[in-house]
Amino acid sequence: MAGALPHLHGRQTFLSFSKSHSSRLSSPASFRPVTVAMGQSQSYWASIDAKIEDHLKKSIPIRPPVEVFEPMQYLSLAPPRTAASALCVAACELVGGYRDDAVAAASAVHLMHAAAFGHEHLPLTDRARPKPAVHHQYNPNIELLTGDGILPFGLELLAKSVDPARDNSDRVLRVIVEITRAVGSQGTVDGQYREFLCTQSDGDELCNAGWVEYACEKKEGGLHACGAILGGGNEEEIERLRKYGLYVGTIQGMLHGVGRNKEGMKEAAEKLRALALKELDIFSSRKTEPIASLVQATLVNA
Protein backbone atom coordinates (compact mmCIF):
# COMPACT_ATOMS: atom_id res chain seq x y z
CA MET A 1 0.00 0.00 0.00
CA ALA A 2 2.93 2.30 0.56
CA GLY A 3 3.35 2.34 -3.17
CA ALA A 4 -0.33 2.74 -3.84
CA LEU A 5 -0.64 5.70 -1.53
CA PRO A 6 2.51 7.77 -2.01
CA HIS A 7 0.46 10.91 -1.41
CA LEU A 8 -0.12 9.99 2.22
CA HIS A 9 2.03 12.08 4.49
CA GLY A 10 1.51 13.92 7.73
CA ARG A 11 -2.05 14.09 9.00
CA GLN A 12 -3.81 12.68 6.06
CA THR A 13 -6.79 10.71 5.08
CA PHE A 14 -6.59 6.96 5.39
CA LEU A 15 -7.93 6.17 2.01
CA SER A 16 -9.92 3.36 0.63
CA PHE A 17 -8.13 0.74 -1.34
CA SER A 18 -6.14 2.63 -3.87
CA LYS A 19 -6.04 5.96 -5.53
CA SER A 20 -7.32 4.49 -8.75
CA HIS A 21 -10.29 2.87 -7.10
CA SER A 22 -11.26 5.56 -4.68
CA SER A 23 -11.06 8.22 -7.33
CA ARG A 24 -13.83 6.49 -9.20
CA LEU A 25 -16.24 7.60 -6.54
CA SER A 26 -17.39 10.88 -7.84
CA SER A 27 -18.99 12.41 -4.79
CA PRO A 28 -17.00 13.47 -1.78
CA ALA A 29 -20.14 13.15 0.30
CA SER A 30 -20.07 9.42 -0.22
CA PHE A 31 -16.50 9.19 0.88
CA ARG A 32 -16.01 8.58 4.54
CA PRO A 33 -12.40 9.11 5.50
CA VAL A 34 -10.87 7.35 8.42
CA THR A 35 -8.21 9.65 9.65
CA VAL A 36 -5.15 8.54 11.53
CA ALA A 37 -2.42 10.35 13.32
CA MET A 38 0.84 10.82 11.54
CA GLY A 39 3.91 8.73 12.03
CA GLN A 40 4.13 5.17 13.17
CA SER A 41 0.41 4.49 13.31
CA GLN A 42 0.03 5.57 9.74
CA SER A 43 2.53 3.11 8.37
CA TYR A 44 1.00 0.44 10.59
CA TRP A 45 -2.44 0.98 9.08
CA ALA A 46 -1.01 1.28 5.60
CA SER A 47 0.68 -2.09 5.88
CA ILE A 48 -2.53 -3.70 7.09
CA ASP A 49 -4.44 -2.08 4.29
CA ALA A 50 -1.98 -3.37 1.73
CA LYS A 51 -2.41 -6.87 3.08
CA ILE A 52 -6.20 -6.73 2.89
CA GLU A 53 -6.18 -5.19 -0.55
CA ASP A 54 -3.85 -7.88 -1.79
CA HIS A 55 -6.06 -10.61 -0.34
CA LEU A 56 -9.17 -9.15 -1.93
CA LYS A 57 -7.61 -8.70 -5.34
CA LYS A 58 -6.38 -12.26 -5.35
CA SER A 59 -9.73 -13.54 -4.15
CA ILE A 60 -11.82 -11.73 -6.74
CA PRO A 61 -9.94 -12.00 -10.01
CA ILE A 62 -11.78 -10.95 -13.12
CA ARG A 63 -12.59 -14.23 -14.78
CA PRO A 64 -15.42 -15.71 -16.82
CA PRO A 65 -18.23 -14.89 -16.73
CA VAL A 66 -16.67 -11.45 -17.02
CA GLU A 67 -20.05 -9.72 -16.90
CA VAL A 68 -20.43 -11.11 -13.39
CA PHE A 69 -16.90 -10.80 -12.02
CA GLU A 70 -15.91 -7.46 -13.47
CA PRO A 71 -18.67 -5.62 -11.55
CA MET A 72 -18.00 -7.82 -8.55
CA GLN A 73 -14.37 -6.77 -8.33
CA TYR A 74 -15.19 -3.16 -9.05
CA LEU A 75 -18.02 -2.91 -6.54
CA SER A 76 -15.96 -4.74 -3.92
CA LEU A 77 -13.00 -2.39 -4.18
CA ALA A 78 -14.66 0.92 -4.99
CA PRO A 79 -16.54 1.70 -1.76
CA PRO A 80 -14.72 3.89 0.73
CA ARG A 81 -13.03 1.89 3.43
CA THR A 82 -14.16 2.08 7.01
CA ALA A 83 -11.94 1.38 9.98
CA ALA A 84 -13.65 -1.95 10.57
CA SER A 85 -11.52 -4.21 8.44
CA ALA A 86 -8.19 -2.72 9.57
CA LEU A 87 -9.26 -2.86 13.21
CA CYS A 88 -10.01 -6.55 12.79
CA VAL A 89 -6.37 -7.20 11.96
CA ALA A 90 -5.02 -4.80 14.59
CA ALA A 91 -7.14 -6.34 17.36
CA CYS A 92 -5.91 -9.77 16.37
CA GLU A 93 -2.32 -8.62 16.67
CA LEU A 94 -2.98 -6.80 19.92
CA VAL A 95 -4.01 -10.02 21.65
CA GLY A 96 -0.98 -11.84 20.29
CA GLY A 97 -2.31 -13.34 17.08
CA TYR A 98 -0.63 -13.33 13.69
CA ARG A 99 -1.70 -10.96 10.96
CA ASP A 100 -2.51 -13.85 8.66
CA ASP A 101 -5.01 -15.16 11.20
CA ALA A 102 -7.27 -12.18 10.57
CA VAL A 103 -6.81 -11.18 6.94
CA ALA A 104 -9.63 -13.32 5.59
CA ALA A 105 -12.01 -12.01 8.24
CA ALA A 106 -10.90 -8.43 7.61
CA SER A 107 -11.53 -8.91 3.91
CA ALA A 108 -14.96 -10.36 4.71
CA VAL A 109 -15.72 -7.36 6.91
CA HIS A 110 -14.87 -5.02 4.06
CA LEU A 111 -17.04 -7.01 1.68
CA MET A 112 -20.01 -6.78 4.08
CA HIS A 113 -19.55 -3.04 4.04
CA ALA A 114 -19.19 -2.96 0.26
CA ALA A 115 -22.42 -4.93 -0.22
CA ALA A 116 -24.33 -2.64 2.14
CA PHE A 117 -22.84 0.46 0.53
CA GLY A 118 -23.97 -0.65 -2.91
CA HIS A 119 -27.51 -1.39 -1.83
CA GLU A 120 -27.77 1.88 0.04
CA HIS A 121 -27.14 3.79 -3.13
CA LEU A 122 -29.57 1.90 -5.34
CA PRO A 123 -32.20 4.04 -7.01
CA LEU A 124 -35.40 2.53 -5.68
CA THR A 125 -38.78 3.89 -6.63
CA ASP A 126 -39.65 4.90 -3.06
CA ARG A 127 -36.42 6.65 -2.24
CA ALA A 128 -37.76 10.15 -2.51
CA ARG A 129 -34.59 11.69 -1.21
CA PRO A 130 -31.72 9.58 -2.31
CA LYS A 131 -28.41 9.65 -0.54
CA PRO A 132 -25.77 11.89 -2.04
CA ALA A 133 -25.28 10.51 -5.50
CA VAL A 134 -22.32 8.31 -6.22
CA HIS A 135 -21.13 7.42 -9.64
CA HIS A 136 -22.96 4.32 -10.79
CA GLN A 137 -20.67 2.29 -12.95
CA TYR A 138 -23.41 -0.23 -13.68
CA ASN A 139 -27.15 -0.16 -13.94
CA PRO A 140 -29.21 -0.73 -10.81
CA ASN A 141 -30.08 -4.33 -11.52
CA ILE A 142 -26.41 -5.27 -11.79
CA GLU A 143 -25.51 -3.31 -8.68
CA LEU A 144 -28.29 -5.00 -6.72
CA LEU A 145 -27.35 -8.49 -7.83
CA THR A 146 -23.66 -7.89 -7.38
CA GLY A 147 -24.22 -6.78 -3.81
CA ASP A 148 -26.19 -9.97 -3.34
CA GLY A 149 -23.15 -11.85 -4.57
CA ILE A 150 -20.56 -9.94 -2.58
CA LEU A 151 -22.07 -10.64 0.81
CA PRO A 152 -22.12 -14.44 0.64
CA PHE A 153 -18.75 -14.40 -1.09
CA GLY A 154 -17.25 -12.59 1.88
CA LEU A 155 -18.59 -15.26 4.21
CA GLU A 156 -17.35 -18.01 1.91
CA LEU A 157 -13.91 -16.44 2.03
CA LEU A 158 -14.06 -16.46 5.80
CA ALA A 159 -15.37 -20.01 6.11
CA LYS A 160 -12.63 -21.22 3.77
CA SER A 161 -9.97 -19.67 5.97
CA VAL A 162 -10.30 -22.61 8.30
CA ASP A 163 -6.95 -24.32 8.49
CA PRO A 164 -6.46 -27.63 10.28
CA ALA A 165 -2.85 -26.64 10.98
CA ARG A 166 -4.13 -23.68 12.96
CA ASP A 167 -7.02 -25.55 14.51
CA ASN A 168 -9.12 -22.42 14.07
CA SER A 169 -12.51 -23.77 13.04
CA ASP A 170 -14.25 -22.83 16.28
CA ARG A 171 -12.88 -19.30 16.14
CA VAL A 172 -13.87 -18.87 12.52
CA LEU A 173 -17.38 -20.11 13.27
CA ARG A 174 -17.67 -17.68 16.15
CA VAL A 175 -16.59 -14.84 13.87
CA ILE A 176 -19.13 -15.90 11.26
CA VAL A 177 -21.81 -15.58 13.92
CA GLU A 178 -20.44 -12.16 14.95
CA ILE A 179 -20.33 -10.86 11.41
CA THR A 180 -23.63 -12.23 10.18
CA ARG A 181 -25.32 -10.78 13.25
CA ALA A 182 -23.56 -7.45 12.79
CA VAL A 183 -24.70 -7.04 9.20
CA GLY A 184 -28.19 -8.42 9.66
CA SER A 185 -31.50 -7.17 10.96
CA GLN A 186 -30.13 -6.52 14.41
CA GLY A 187 -27.18 -4.62 13.02
CA THR A 188 -26.43 -2.84 9.78
CA VAL A 189 -29.92 -3.32 8.38
CA ASP A 190 -31.51 -1.86 11.49
CA GLY A 191 -29.11 1.10 11.28
CA GLN A 192 -29.78 1.60 7.59
CA TYR A 193 -33.50 1.57 8.21
CA ARG A 194 -33.20 4.21 10.90
CA GLU A 195 -30.94 6.31 8.74
CA PHE A 196 -33.48 6.00 5.96
CA LEU A 197 -36.28 7.22 8.23
CA CYS A 198 -34.04 10.11 9.20
CA THR A 199 -33.30 11.14 5.62
CA GLN A 200 -36.99 10.96 4.68
CA SER A 201 -38.23 12.99 7.64
CA ASP A 202 -38.89 16.68 7.24
CA GLY A 203 -37.88 18.00 10.60
CA ASP A 204 -34.93 17.10 12.70
CA GLU A 205 -37.07 15.94 15.61
CA LEU A 206 -36.71 12.30 14.74
CA CYS A 207 -32.99 12.54 14.17
CA ASN A 208 -31.81 13.75 17.52
CA ALA A 209 -28.38 12.89 18.89
CA GLY A 210 -29.61 9.76 20.68
CA TRP A 211 -31.27 8.45 17.56
CA VAL A 212 -28.18 9.10 15.47
CA GLU A 213 -25.96 7.40 18.01
CA TYR A 214 -28.21 4.36 18.00
CA ALA A 215 -28.30 4.25 14.21
CA CYS A 216 -24.52 4.57 13.97
CA GLU A 217 -23.88 1.91 16.55
CA LYS A 218 -26.17 -0.48 14.71
CA LYS A 219 -24.98 0.39 11.26
CA GLU A 220 -21.27 0.56 11.82
CA GLY A 221 -20.39 -0.67 15.27
CA GLY A 222 -20.86 -4.40 15.10
CA LEU A 223 -18.52 -4.95 12.20
CA HIS A 224 -15.61 -3.52 14.16
CA ALA A 225 -15.28 -6.56 16.41
CA CYS A 226 -13.80 -9.84 15.34
CA GLY A 227 -10.02 -9.72 15.41
CA ALA A 228 -9.63 -10.53 19.08
CA ILE A 229 -11.43 -13.83 18.62
CA LEU A 230 -9.17 -14.88 15.76
CA GLY A 231 -6.05 -13.80 17.59
CA GLY A 232 -6.90 -16.08 20.49
CA GLY A 233 -7.75 -13.36 23.00
CA ASN A 234 -9.30 -14.33 26.31
CA GLU A 235 -12.94 -13.49 26.97
CA GLU A 236 -12.18 -10.21 28.68
CA GLU A 237 -9.92 -9.08 25.85
CA ILE A 238 -12.54 -10.06 23.31
CA GLU A 239 -15.27 -8.20 25.17
CA ARG A 240 -13.12 -5.08 25.65
CA LEU A 241 -12.16 -4.96 21.99
CA ARG A 242 -15.73 -5.63 20.92
CA LYS A 243 -16.87 -2.62 22.91
CA TYR A 244 -13.98 -0.56 21.63
CA GLY A 245 -14.98 -1.45 18.08
CA LEU A 246 -18.58 -0.49 18.78
CA TYR A 247 -17.39 2.94 19.91
CA VAL A 248 -15.08 3.36 16.92
CA GLY A 249 -17.86 2.50 14.49
CA THR A 250 -20.36 4.71 16.29
CA ILE A 251 -17.97 7.66 16.35
CA GLN A 252 -17.12 7.22 12.68
CA GLY A 253 -20.80 7.13 11.83
CA MET A 254 -21.57 10.19 13.92
CA LEU A 255 -18.82 12.27 12.35
CA HIS A 256 -18.73 11.01 8.80
CA GLY A 257 -21.78 8.82 8.26
CA VAL A 258 -25.38 9.09 9.42
CA GLY A 259 -24.54 12.00 11.72
CA ARG A 260 -22.45 14.10 9.39
CA ASN A 261 -23.53 17.72 9.22
CA LYS A 262 -25.73 17.26 12.27
CA GLU A 263 -25.33 19.49 15.28
CA GLY A 264 -23.92 18.23 18.53
CA MET A 265 -22.18 15.26 17.00
CA LYS A 266 -18.67 16.37 17.81
CA GLU A 267 -19.52 16.77 21.48
CA ALA A 268 -21.34 13.45 21.60
CA ALA A 269 -18.41 11.75 19.88
CA GLU A 270 -15.99 13.29 22.37
CA LYS A 271 -17.82 11.55 25.19
CA LEU A 272 -17.74 8.23 23.39
CA ARG A 273 -14.06 8.67 22.71
CA ALA A 274 -13.29 8.74 26.41
CA LEU A 275 -15.36 5.61 26.94
CA ALA A 276 -13.64 3.94 24.02
CA LEU A 277 -10.16 4.57 25.33
CA LYS A 278 -11.17 3.25 28.73
CA GLU A 279 -11.82 -0.13 27.15
CA LEU A 280 -8.17 -0.33 26.14
CA ASP A 281 -6.80 0.16 29.64
CA ILE A 282 -6.19 -3.52 30.29
CA PHE A 283 -3.63 -3.59 27.48
CA SER A 284 -0.15 -2.11 27.50
CA SER A 285 -0.41 1.48 26.29
CA ARG A 286 2.53 1.06 23.96
CA LYS A 287 0.76 -1.73 22.17
CA THR A 288 -2.56 0.08 21.90
CA GLU A 289 -1.11 3.23 20.37
CA PRO A 290 -2.08 2.46 16.77
CA ILE A 291 -5.56 1.27 17.72
CA ALA A 292 -6.18 4.26 19.97
CA SER A 293 -5.25 6.54 17.09
CA LEU A 294 -8.47 5.53 15.37
CA VAL A 295 -10.59 7.57 17.75
CA GLN A 296 -8.00 10.25 18.44
CA ALA A 297 -7.29 11.26 14.87
CA THR A 298 -10.96 11.01 14.01
CA LEU A 299 -11.73 13.82 16.39
CA VAL A 300 -8.73 15.91 15.52
CA ASN A 301 -9.77 16.04 11.90
CA ALA A 302 -13.53 15.97 12.29
Q: Which residues contact 265 (CB under 8 A, 6 or more apart)?
A: 209, 212, 254, 255, 259
Rounded to 5°, the CA angle 282-283-289 comes to 130
Which lies closer to a copy of itself via its Cβ, residue 48 or residue 116?
116
Measure the CA–CA gap between 218 and 82, rounded to whole angstroms: 14
Total residues found in the chain within this entry: 302
Cβ closer to a copy of itself: 187 or 245?
187
User: Shortest approach of a copy of itself to residue 276 CB, angstroms?
Assistant: 25
Q: Which residues contact 272 (CB under 8 A, 6 or more apart)?
A: 213, 247, 250, 251, 254, 295
Radius of gyration of the chain (CA): 18
Nearer to a copy of itself, 193 or 283 (CB): 193
CA 224 → CA 129, 136, 164, 252, distances in Å? 29, 27, 26, 11
Give the residues lining the site for a copy of itself (CB under 8 A).
65, 67-69, 72, 112, 115-116, 119, 122-127, 139-142, 144-153, 155-156, 159-160, 162, 169-170, 172-173, 176-177, 179-181, 183-186, 188-190, 192-193, 196
Residue 6 or 165 having the CB closest to a copy of itself: 165
Nearer residue to a copy of itself within complex by CB, 142 or 207: 142
* Residue 96 vs 152, nearer CB to a copy of itself: 152
Please report how close the Cβ of residue 42 comes to a copy of itself at its closest, in angstroms.
Answer: 33
> Shortest gap between Cβ of 93 and a copy of itself (angstroms)?
24
Nearest approach in angstroms of CB 166 to a copy of itself is 13
The DSSP call for residue 128 is S
As measured in angstroms, the least distance from the Cβ of 109 to a copy of itself is: 12
Q: Which CB contacts under 8 angstroms, 24+ apart, belong to 192-195?
A: 192/116, 192/120, 192/219, 194/218, 194/219, 194/258, 195/219, 195/258
Least spacing, CB of residue 172 vs a copy of itself, in Å: 7
